[in-house]
Amino acid sequence: MPLELIQYILFVTGFGALCFSYFYRRRWLKNANYKFNNRIIERAHKIGRPPIFLQYSSNVVFSGAVSLLPGLLGLLYFFISKAWETLYVFIVISAIALIYFRPHLKELERYISNNDKGNKTTGELNKASEADRE
């Protein structure tokens, strides 16, 4: 298999991973009103945060991890071909994706407030944690 074909396959795979991360995060943010199981509610109560915060955090970590994939693919291609330029391109793509998929405070606040309207458990948890603080 020629190196150029491997390079194209890795580029397509890297961009596919970024597209997957984008659509995964958008889909989750549009459907942020989830029913929470008891484990998530207990963990959220221990740290004094609403359950949507834990789910948002895990989704940000997941999209960030998927955003690292192009950099790892570039490293793999570098080991195969010793092409520095291609490694730099893959790393720049990965860095731009990490900047794009970083957590946004306004986004988190908007989804916490939207979830409070649709999920009584989160509102009750906030009231309970406020009562514990007093």
Residue-by-residue DSSP string for 76-93: HHHHHH--HHHHHHHHHH
**Are the CB atoms for 77 and 7 separated by under 8 Å?**
yes
Instruction: Give the pLDDT of residue 36.
Output: 61
Given a cut of 60, is residue 105 above it in pLDDT?
A: yes
**Are the CB atoms for 126 and 56 separated by under 8 Å?**
no
Per-residue pLDDT reduced to its tens digit, 33-65: 556 666 676 777 787 777 777 777 778 888 889
Per-residue pLDDT reduced to its tens digit, 53-101: 777 777 888 888 998 999 998 899 899 888 888 889 999 999 999 898 8
Going from the C-alpha of 86 to that of each of 6, 33, 98, 118, the distances in angstroms are 12, 41, 18, 47
Amino acid at 79: F
Per-residue pLDDT reduced to its tens digit, 13-40: 999 999 998 888 877 776 655 566 666 7
Structure tokens of 9?
Answer: 């396959």
Instruction: Give the pLDDT of residue 128.
Output: 47
Distance from C-alpha of 70 to C-alpha of 76, rounded to nearest angstrom = 10
Burial of 40 (0-12, 13-18, 19+ CB in 10 A): middle
Residue 122: pLDDT band with limits 50, 70, 90: very low
